[in-house]
A and B are shown apart, each in its own frame.
Chain A
């Protein structure tokens, strides 16, 4: 909340101002519905709205945190658990709430609202405040302005309520509580507020509840009370809110916008087109951008170089970085490799370099004492990051990865791929995949176990005596095992197929053997399933020891 409260009862307002409060009661759900329509290219229909709710997760419980009008009408109000709601209406649409996104969108809406007045601030989580002093005549008065704003938002598909008054507090109250008379006349807020419930004072629920229990249900009920008795019971906050709404004390209006995006551009008098020119421009922009980032203590994770052409087309190249960087040389190095992908067309009149994603940069100390041991790890890390970025940008994303252990008995699940550099270092490899425990794992695990034939092994579970792999017959000279590993039963239940209760896949286990052939080659074999008389036995080779 950017609006800061000024509780000092200092000066009376110098000149009458007019404020507009916009309330978007179904902001989250409206946004969700509109995004779905956009993606489905649905026409805006006027069919009755289906109930939709946004869900937040609180300690494992999924609760409704926002609802559209239709859902509210049916009693699916914030606070209700999703399970309860679904029990009542199994087809209730729901989606995970994203307050961060909603906030960003509100910022964008604030920018849009600049069309009405230059003084706009967002009123989180689902409203805007506009200082419209002196602006309304452009719409033939406040009613016209209000109507225009209302219509535009409705056309976009947003439910909204708008109130206008002399004070921020009164406008806020008017938008939310005064459906009948949303525009309070100049200097008329005292009368207009009197009939509204105390909740309209922007106070917490507990205070409102306490007031109600004293029979003080409307704002007007507070007027005749001695100020001291209110203050002694409810503290100064309530009085402050009341005074703000009535205009007896002023309230700060902080028109605040997001910091400017990290982007630098260069406009050319004459269109450019050669790779050399573009490269020069890139170098210059990169220096400027890097400086901007360094000042903000930020590093870029994604950078885009855009060329605006004479024919209103844009040609772009982009890179991603594994660690945030504010090094111009690094950016130039990575982007220059792709510069030939740019198509200047008839000529480029503007170039722009923008950091699409930035992160706080880790404070890096350059080496204090060259040659002292142990403190060059950061430098190494950065150097490694540079290498990884070059490899990644050349081979393609996802081709450079790091292996991390996963706690699973199943060999093929015991390892996972992850980002090449992770903060906090890699987790330790557990015992099982090191040779220290009884269970051995081969150095090389095949991606897919390969079937082997001509296996001779005493039943039920002695090691094999011979086997044929890739047409070569191996005679086993030494063997150890079996190590019995049973399938992770809970994973199979997630699969859509329904394994029959006693089918081998349902409870399948493998018996693994380490075997060595006559030439000293060592293999990791397994028999699928437990031995059962009169059932074909299938054998596989799963890995190779050194």
Chain B
């Protein structure tokens, strides 16, 4: 007897199925099923996972899905061949596209028009009605010889009668019967989680759920013998399964993906077009002549592309880039495409791989049968134009965004499970608040205790237990930030397409891993904030200094720029502005472009976890000889002095030293990155280390290499990617050094972006001698602008820095400014803003040019709208109001109000007002510590700028404090952090007693304080405010931390994984 479960709901039927496809595949294989069908509701979103899992576990997958029609009828649908599969995808696309996001509106008539080649199993409802009988009666004629009726044993007490009746009905209408168990989970132990999912779906608690829950735990995969026993009176129902297994043999692996042709000249093949464009591009890229080396490289690449038939893909990317060039949208290829000279010549990437010695084989190799992956960054503000261009050019039936499966993470899992179990909102928030970052491991008992809760409270314990199971469950499909799938034929015959939440977007049902697993190519159209910033800078450069530059034409090898980088003077510079990067720069002393490539790659979890950083630094400074362990590794590690720093180096080691095959090495990389590794990593680890040891390497080196691979799994940079980023590092540093005015203005106009808040950017610019001028109704624009001042420019803060003002408001103010606003009444009349906006301007202290400070302005705008003067509408009354003298606002109060309205102050640093008090307490300023010797114990204090707990730091926390002179970095070892957790997480200003550490020589030394004790100084800040009645205002509430923030334009996946800590984890 061959049994296969044909009705299985995986967790891709969101909030219903309670098992992963992997778990179902494993269980089915263990029970001895011949095959398994994963039939999610109106969806193929989970089918690739199922396909991969089944392949892995050696069990056949029957591709299909459950179709639920609008009138309530349901059936299972299994395509028998590729063509029928295409029809099923099309059918689902029709249903999805006509429904709002997440829903699918289908009618039986839709199926009939896509019926060819489908095998269907009618699902009878629990109570048969005349309508459902009529529906089932249609099946035999619409699907002659291919329709069945499902019989399921539900343990409801009436199974014998019901199955008997259904059998009679089946005979009556000529439908063969087939047994299913309508599976919702792989083992009965998942029933509690399934109940929780039901509660989440219905938005009720488990105590209220009542009959919405299932009565028993029978909906699991059962052994073939048990199914046979249950259907012993209906042996046909079991026997017919084999027929279906044999008939529905469609395999996802047979999907063939074809690229659009992109041939521009009639008569040309795609390859010929590509070659023509590449050679033309070579002349443009190498104006001094295409040398033999270059010619050979390009020809070599073209040959390989031809061999793999990838030309259409390259042409697709090239055409997208061409569009961006025409529209003057700044862009740059990233990732492994930078290894390709052809990509360089096509204008896709900005790095010359021949010059930098990047190897094309890392991009496309004959060994790996894997499509190349070209990612292109665009200015994040103009990326949408590119996306809409793609839709327009290829049509929605040929282009779709890849999906991103949004999965449950700790926080949401705890929240939803806790709600379902009836925990109060504050208990839930107490549990989840104590979680650091996006942990996929769930909450520990210690964490529960720290949250002030009782870990023995059984509901809390059960919540935590079930939440842990829930973590990783898909919650819904979202759109990938920019991964496009483009096909030659209709895409909807390849994969169902659905609507995205955003208007004008359509998304395929598969995510990038799915697409990769099936060998489908995608183009990543990403947004990068720094590119927007660069475009602004180039524009200002042209406008104010008459210099025209592009990414490619910024002068290279500028010694002064490297000197600035070496001194870690990098606030605002792309990628190297973080605390970790800043402390690395003086040690690494970058002197040439490749040093920047290493700088970008080295401060990553991979090299840090692999303990590769210090050996590299020692070798670089000549303290340690370069050692390749064995000669075979020399070609792999030569550029990095024998220390593996890049992702592909680690993979190469696996191949060269541990004797992995290319595809094994790739498997290894992927098993690190995928969500559920299922113990695979450990198996690889043993093989890897043993392999290297057997090959004559030290166990220690092998272990470190493997640790590094583990780190790379998610967080590693390949060399080419680092090179693309390094170019932006250099360019942004170049602008910062030569035009700090432009740099500051462009950076401020591109916010939010990067690591630092506007206050720090402004402070840094001022330190570089740039005058920053305040927001003013008579001078400011929406953006921050430059105003001439000597041979440089001063930065005039724009209205965008002020809270509560929109670009429209700013435009109104500027458009009607004419030769200026002489007084408030004139401003009010001409700009005609609402009272609310006038108040915002007053709060931003933007009326100084008409002689009103914040308080006077506020006083005068408060009266305006309430008593309009229609009679005097055409006059400009000169004396605005009665002569009222308000108490003068102290400067410290002004600073506070500045922070409140602008998040920065040009008047003073808040800590400056506390200096006397701090001196009294014997606290050193950041200026003072420059004169202290290393090893001294001292107390420093400042506003908390940044807090980080990098995943690679094993619990060590880094804090950056700022006072009126500068910043100081603190290192908190885990035990210190645990002791002062509350202060670290909550305080806006801290004092820290600790030991001063110095490394390197001035001016390139790294200074930090190793914390021993921490004090919460936030109350001091409250004393800056004017007091009355013994109640100081709450200033500390205004300051916000800029915790380790992602570059928003940065690749979404990486950004998320790289953020070990988000500010919201603190509040």
Contact = CB atoms under 8 A, between A and B. Distances in A.
Interface string B428-455: 0110000000000000000000111100
Given A84-B430, A87-B452, A408-B210, A61 B425 contact: yes
A197 B211 contact: no
Given A83-B429, A87-B430, A217 B216 contact: no
A232 B863 contact: yes
**Max chain A Cβ within 10 angstroms of own Cβ: one of B217, B451, B1028:** B1028
A350 B1028 CA distance: 60
Contacts of B906: none
B127 interface: yes
B162 interface: yes
A62 interface: yes
A489 interface: yes
A54 interface: no
A490 B421 contact: yes
B94 to A, nearest CB: 35
Nearest to B209: A407
A411 to B, nearest CB: 11
A213 B462 contact: no
A317 interface: no
A521 interface: no
A113 B426 CA distance: 40
B427 to A, nearest CB: 6
Contacts of A511: 155
**Max chain B Cβ within 10 angstroms of own Cβ: one of A81, A196, A406:** A81
Interface string B444-483: 0000001111000011011000000000000000000000
Interface string A213-233: 111111001000110110011
Contact of A218 (B208, B218, B889, B1028): B1028
Given A60-B424, A84-B430, A482 B858 contact: no
B215 A409 contact: yes
B156 A490 contact: no
B858 A486 contact: no
B888 interface: yes
Contacts of A481: 157
Interface stretch (A66-74, A431-439, A533-541): A431-439
Interface string A479-521: 0111111100110011000000000000101011010000000
B459 A196 contact: no
A482 B192 CA distance: 22
A215 B1033 CA distance: 13
A367 interface: no
A431 B451 CA distance: 44
A62 B161 contact: no
Contacts of A83: 426-427, 429-430, 451-453
Contacts, number: 154
Nearest to B210: A407
Contacts of B195: 489-490
A480 B157 contact: yes
B292 interface: no
Interface in B685-731: none
A383 B708 CA distance: 84
A99 interface: no
A493 B462 contact: yes
A90 interface: yes
A492 to B, nearest CB: 9
Interface stretch (B15-23, B297-305, B349-357, B879-887): B879-887
Contacts of B453: 83, 86
B1026 A90 contact: no
A215 B855 contact: yes
Contact of B217 (A82, A215, A494, A509): A509
B155 A482 contact: yes
B882 A226 contact: yes
A83 B423 CA distance: 12
A532 interface: no
Contacts of B162: 438
A86 B887 contact: no
B858 A213 contact: yes
B191 interface: yes
A177 to B, nearest CB: 6
A232 B195 CA distance: 60
Nearest to A438: B158
B213 interface: yes
A59 interface: yes
Contacts of A225: 884
A89 to B, nearest CB: 8
B452 A86 contact: yes
Contact of B156 (A228, A234, A483, A507): A483
Contact of B884 (A197, A226, A480, A485): A226
Interface residues of A, number: 61
B157 A483 contact: yes
A214 B855 contact: yes
B425 A485 contact: no
A458 to B, nearest CB: 11
B211 A432 contact: yes
B217 A409 contact: no
Contacts of A432: 211
B709 to A, nearest CB: 37
B877 to A, nearest CB: 15
Interface in B185-209: 188, 191-192, 195, 206-209
A212 interface: yes
Contacts of A228: 882
A430 interface: yes
A506 to B, nearest CB: 11
B460 to A, nearest CB: 10
A485 B216 contact: yes
A406 B211 CA distance: 9
A407 B217 CA distance: 18
Contact of A214 (B213, B881, B886): B886
A196 B1029 CA distance: 7
A41 interface: no
Interface string B130-173: 00000000000000000000000001111011100000000000
A516 to B, nearest CB: 14
Interface in B73-92: none
Contact of A217 (B206, B858, B881, B1026): B1026
A197 B1028 contact: yes
Interface in A398-412: 406-409
Contacts of A469: none
A437 B429 CA distance: 42
B127 A408 contact: no
Given A87-B452, A221-B887, A407-B211, A213 B855 contact: yes
Interface string B109-140: 00000000000000000110000000000000
A545 interface: no
Interface string B209-227: 1111101111000000000
B859 interface: yes
B1028 A217 contact: yes
A484 B215 contact: yes
B862 interface: yes
Contacts of B1031: 197
B866 interface: yes
Contact of B459 (A200, A221, A483, A494): A494
B328 interface: no
A233 B458 CA distance: 57
9 contacts: A59-B425, A61-B426, A83-B452, A196-B1029, A215-B1026, A217-B1026, A407-B208, A407-B210, A484-B215
Interface of A: 57, 59-62, 81-84, 86-88, 90, 177, 196-200, 210, 212-218, 221, 225-226, 228-229, 232-234, 406-409, 430, 432, 437-440, 480-486, 489-490, 493-494, 507, 509, 511-512, 514
Given A213-B855, A438-B156, 7 more contacts: A215-B855, A216-B886, A232-B867, A407-B211, A409-B211, A430-B211, A439-B157
A-B pairs with lowest CB-CB distance, top 5: A407-B210, A483-B157, A438-B158, A87-B452, A60-B425
